[in-house]
Chains A and B, each alone.
Chain A
Amino acid sequence: MISAALSIITAFNSSARPPSNSSHQSHSFVSYFSRIKSPSITRSSHFSATGSIQFAMADSDGEYVADMSDDDIMDHTVTDGDPSAARPKGSKPSKKKRDRNGSKAWEQSKRTWETDLPEEDDGMLNLAGYEAERRRRLLRDTTPLQRGIIRHLVLVLDMSFAMAEKDLLPTRHRLTLSYAAAFVREYFEQNPISQLGIVGMRDGVAVRISDMGGNPAEHLERLRELEGQDPQGNPSLQNALEMCRGALFHAPSHGTREVLIIYGALLSSDPGDIHDTISNLIADRIRVSVVGLSAQVAICAELCSRTNAGDESQYNVAMDETHYKELFLAATTPPVNRTKEQSTSSLLMMGFPSRTLAPGGTTSYCACHSKPCREGYLCTRCSAKVCRLPSECPACGLTLILSTHLARSYHHLFPLRNWVEVPWAEAGQSTACFSCQSPFQEPPKPNREKGKDEAAPAKASAKGVSESGRYKCQVCGNHFCIDCDVFAHMVIHNCPGCQSQSQAVPVGVDGVMAEANGNGHANGDGVMVIDG
């Protein structure tokens, strides 16, 4: 039966080279695949080792067509009813302004200079659309959510034959490595007290790339070493997941346990039943999210949905390079804690050492690397010297951390509220952006009312864009320009207006919290709630 399954696979996807049976005699061969490059519904066939064919209809609004041929696969891309309804929830429905339904994905131009520039009919660049796109990226749910701040994440990179494809330029493999490096940097910037490990999938086995650790330099170093290797062999989801399970086994219960898989292939060569592994993952409270590079794969959808308590947004398929990067880096934001059970909260004892110079310019050895250094941090409990933070005291095991590391995560817990567009009617009260002092357009004169009415419908098409170019913080009422809006929400996480006026501080809803940490409320934050 195995050979039968193989033949079907090759019929569907001639580029997917069947694995050599000789090297995987003991493995049953399992493949999961569906339409190529379609961010649409999941309709996948699942060939098990016994040869019985199951159909995993994770999210299906269509019906399985048994005699699916190549042509049919193509056809369905177009004929599935409402594509936005069928799209995985994770990718936002209004992702691209342009209509992707008219032609196949591979017919669409991949050149960024053609696709990313919104053009109006007359060939002029529609900058309102550009601004809308920037704005759209900002607008997200700002309900303060309880998030897993102390994270333990394993990044699983596909290094199988499928990564040699060149549909993402230069190749999937190269692009993945460069994004992975960006991911590592961003991850540690956003989550300074978290841990990361990297695992690769190749030749049917899982390869350890870097161990769980908190030092970005080490991970980056290992990633660089990979650049010389060519991707080869089959990926094995199960092997990789088992290795992740092992790596996360020791993660303390107060932190999150996450796996992020970058999956380029449409098949997986596994030694056993992957459903058992999924059950084990659930038992170990490990959440898995997957970024697919080719097509929706049923088992991935199932994996994500089951390990995330039914939430299907954790599985996404990248449509192009930009989208891929967006999906990849989205995982740097700490995940929302869905239920109280998902992570046991606990109180951690930590030391906040101050930085000291060895007296008189002398050097001494640090306890962590045994390297001579002039400056360091003394453990607050046992006074052992460590050279960099955050770390665990090598002598007494106390977690040593800079208070700034904690502070870096606070903005996830207390996000800045979105600002609202300002209509022309209110625009008169400001002439310049509050924070950067760049002048705004002047409001149109009343006698030009007519012209304005004509222009209004055209403007209205770009959602989220303020007609007056002003954006208002609802707490302090100041007006800002789009650049400051983006900067304040993406980088600084402060409202310049609220921070500049102590009177404008509203009274927090949660009195205890306001008193206890006294932060954030000036930021227009609310109470932290637990989702679900």
Chain B
Amino acid sequence: MSNNPSLHLAEYLERLPGTTFKKLYQQPSTAFAIFRRMLPHLAKTFVMRMLFMPHPMTLNDLDVWVKPEAKRNKDQSLSILRGLHIVQISAPSKEKPQEIQLMSNFKRSLRLALTGGGNHNSFGVPSSLLIPPEIDLQFLDRYARKKWEDVLHFVVSSVGYKSVGDGSGPNKGVKELLIAGRLVDRRPSGGLGITQAGFTFLLQEANAQVWTLLLLWLDVLGNNKGSGLDPVDMLSFLFMLASLELGRAYDTNALTEERRNMLPSLVDFGLIYIPQHKRSMFFPTRLATTLTSGGNSLRTISEGVTAATQSAQASQQSLGPLSGGGEQQSGSVVIETNYRLYAYTQSALQIAVLALFAKLNMRFPDMVAGRLSRASIRQAINFGITADQIISYLAAHAHEQMHRTAALTNKPVLPPTVVDQIRLWQLENERMKTTSGFLFRDFTDDKDYLDTARFSEEIGVLVWRNDHARMFFANKHEQIKDFLKTRKRAE
């Protein structure tokens, strides 16, 4: 549903038990990656402030840090921090005020990550072997792009559009995974058909797609006890991959047995590259090293900063997009207020995706032009694509010029008329939107109701409320449950 890839990951992580987190945070690279990737800005600030504090601090002190108008923001940050088991808050009691502190594991690991030191080797052991000369960034980018496009082609071609993919398609294991993850399903006719989840997958940006696939993979392996792979360790390994340096060779012998077993699958996804004749080294590709980049920030801004400052940086990691010329990731779609759509791309894949919801009527060597129409959107909706998906796809792939103009004039990236119209077209036959969640009712008194409702609003889970009937609807209930419990205890 959401275009924010970190949400998928967040949902996945939220399901994990606390002990898993304890194990995850053993590795500084994991703590570092989760910190960078999963937390909102304010939460990062909190963590950094508490990182070098010797003692727990009281919650009241924390309240003093924050401006009153940002209370809501603070509560959300805290609830995320708790959800990821980064902080622990002592139970309220009469004699002692509530205290907050970082989990000791997390604290130690993040400290190590920042100061450097220890002997955890979690940032990868470089290979001492000579790097084959043909392997450079360009090569790795080409390789990663090829692998990933194979995967996407496989999904797209199941729509029925003839894909012009030149590749042999992804590995069998990957195909199985896509089917197991219900991104495509087998039709009775024997062919493969794309599911709605598959559309969601297609319309995401690359970074989110990678995560979706990886999480699927973790799920599948997690259910399959016989594989001998521990999902926690795998997750930790993925986070470690993200902190490796692009274009550098790492030693496979320094990895544990389980992790070495994971490498073939990662090769299939295009996350790493292992040279044919030197099996003891592996290269992370850009798909891997950008795993912890914020999904959107992968694009123009970082490129701009890089361009501006790169030359002067001694040897910073290049933050460029996934592509070494991969037009589709750097944003290539221009959409105008008159519903015309121009995409500067040669990628058959992207053209196929665009054709899902736009009427393309011209094709040039390096661009296609078309327009969004009621019919084309309706057709897409009949496929099972939602307006939200289309909009988020357009936003994710907007041309950098559109971002610039938007930033300069302080306006939305996509023309509001177009966005509204796409939604209206969808609304023509979909008048309802469902949200799964929990209804809270039958409160004993008004105060009880109001407090709980306010709490749920503050942590951002409130969907609907009716003060008159003393009912409200929330899409998550765990923390409200805790809240109700603590209330009861306090009474």
Separation of A432 and B308 alpha carbons in the complex (Å) = 13
Chain A residue with the shortest CB-CB distance to B308: A438
Chain B residue with the shortest CB-CB distance to A437: B312
Task: Point out the residues of chain A lying under 8 angstroms from B311, CB to CB.
Answer: 432, 437-439
Task: Point out the residues of chain A lying under 8 angstroms from B308, CB to CB.
Answer: 438
Chain A residue with the shortest CB-CB distance to B313: A437
Separation of A311 and B311 alpha carbons in the complex (Å) = 50
Separation of A438 and B308 alpha carbons in the complex (Å) = 7
Instruction: Scan B378-418; emit 1 where CB is below 8 A from any A CB, else 0.
Output: 00000000000000000000000000000000000000000
Task: Point out the residues of chain B lying under 8 angstroms from A439, CB to CB.
Answer: 311-312
Separation of A480 and B44 alpha carbons in the complex (Å) = 37
Chain A residue with the shortest CB-CB distance to B312: A437
Separation of A436 and B311 alpha carbons in the complex (Å) = 11
Q: Is the interface of B mostly helix, strand, loop or mixed?
A: helix
Chain B residue with the shortest CB-CB distance to A438: B311
Task: Point out the residues of chain B lying under 8 angstroms from A438, CB to CB.
Answer: 308, 311-312
Tell me the residues in window 300-328 of chain B with beta carbons closer than 8 Å to chain A beta carbons. 308, 311-312
Task: Point out the residues of chain B lying under 8 angstroms from A436, CB to CB.
Answer: 312
Give A438 Cβ to nearest chain B Cβ, in Å: 6
Give B316 Cβ to nearest chain A Cβ, in Å: 13
Give B315 Cβ to nearest chain A Cβ, in Å: 14
Give B67 Cβ to nearest chain A Cβ, in Å: 16
Tell me the residues in window 410-461 of chain A with beta carbons closer than 8 Å to chain B beta carbons. 432, 436-439
Q: Is the interface of A mostly helix, strand, loop or mixed?
A: loop
Separation of A432 and B311 alpha carbons in the complex (Å) = 10
Separation of A436 and B312 alpha carbons in the complex (Å) = 9
Separation of A438 and B312 alpha carbons in the complex (Å) = 6
Tell me the residues in window 99-137 of chain A with beta carbons closer than 8 Å to chain B beta carbons. none
Separation of A379 and B312 alpha carbons in the complex (Å) = 49
Task: Point out the residues of chain A lying under 8 angstroms from B312, CB to CB.
Answer: 432, 436-439
Instruction: Scan B278-313; emit 1 where CB is below 8 A from any A CB, else 0.
Output: 000000000000000000000000000000100110
Separation of A366 and B132 alpha carbons in the complex (Å) = 75
Instruction: Scan A302-319; emit 1 where CB is below 8 A from any B CB, else 0.
Output: 000000000000000000
Separation of A459 and B311 alpha carbons in the complex (Å) = 26
Task: Point out the residues of chain B lying under 8 angstroms from A432, CB to CB.
Answer: 311-312
Separation of A432 and B312 alpha carbons in the complex (Å) = 9
Give A39 Cβ to nearest chain B Cβ, in Å: 31
Task: Point out the residues of chain B lying under 8 angstroms from A437, CB to CB.
Answer: 311-312
Chain B residue with the shortest CB-CB distance to A483: B308
Give B379 Cβ to nearest chain A Cβ, in Å: 36
Separation of A246 and B103 alpha carbons in the complex (Å) = 72
Give A499 Cβ to nearest chain B Cβ, in Å: 19
Separation of A432 and B215 alpha carbons in the complex (Å) = 46
Separation of A439 and B308 alpha carbons in the complex (Å) = 10
Separation of A60 and B411 alpha carbons in the complex (Å) = 50
Quick one: which of A432, A436, A438, A439 has the most chain B CB within 10 A?
A438
Give A440 Cβ to nearest chain B Cβ, in Å: 10
Give B481 Cβ to nearest chain A Cβ, in Å: 40
Separation of A438 and B311 alpha carbons in the complex (Å) = 6
Give B243 Cβ to nearest chain A Cβ, in Å: 27
Separation of A436 and B313 alpha carbons in the complex (Å) = 11
Separation of A255 and B461 alpha carbons in the complex (Å) = 62
Instruction: Scan B115-157; emit 1 where CB is below 8 A from any A CB, else 0.
Output: 0000000000000000000000000000000000000000000
Tell me the residues in window 164-217 of chain B with beta carbons closer than 8 Å to chain A beta carbons. none
Separation of A394 and B70 alpha carbons in the complex (Å) = 38
Separation of A437 and B316 alpha carbons in the complex (Å) = 15
Separation of A436 and B307 alpha carbons in the complex (Å) = 13
Give B133 Cβ to nearest chain A Cβ, in Å: 25
Instruction: Scan A63-105; emit 1 where CB is below 8 A from any B CB, else 0.
Output: 0000000000000000000000000000000000000000000
Separation of A437 and B312 alpha carbons in the complex (Å) = 6
Give A336 Cβ to nearest chain B Cβ, in Å: 35
Separation of A437 and B308 alpha carbons in the complex (Å) = 10
Give B313 Cβ to nearest chain A Cβ, in Å: 9
Give A464 Cβ to nearest chain B Cβ, in Å: 24
Give A498 Cβ to nearest chain B Cβ, in Å: 21
Give B87 Cβ to nearest chain A Cβ, in Å: 30
Give B64 Cβ to nearest chain A Cβ, in Å: 13
Separation of A439 and B311 alpha carbons in the complex (Å) = 7
Give A295 Cβ to nearest chain B Cβ, in Å: 33
Give B63 Cβ to nearest chain A Cβ, in Å: 17
Tell me the residues in window 156-172 of chain A with beta carbons closer than 8 Å to chain B beta carbons. none
Give B106 Cβ to nearest chain A Cβ, in Å: 36
Give B304 Cβ to nearest chain A Cβ, in Å: 13
Give A435 Cβ to nearest chain B Cβ, in Å: 11
Separation of A437 and B313 alpha carbons in the complex (Å) = 9
Chain B residue with the shortest CB-CB distance to A433: B312
Separation of A439 and B312 alpha carbons in the complex (Å) = 8
Give B312 Cβ to nearest chain A Cβ, in Å: 4
Separation of A152 and B92 alpha carbons in the complex (Å) = 64
Binding site for B on A (CB under 8 A): 432, 436-439
Q: List 10 A-B contacts (CB under 8 A).
A: A432-B311, A432-B312, A436-B312, A437-B311, A437-B312, A438-B308, A438-B311, A438-B312, A439-B311, A439-B312
3 tightest Cβ-Cβ pairs between the two chains A and B: A437-B312, A439-B311, A438-B311
Further pairs besides A437-B311, A439-B312: 8, Cβ < 8 Å: A432-B311, A432-B312, A436-B312, A437-B312, A438-B308, A438-B311, A438-B312, A439-B311
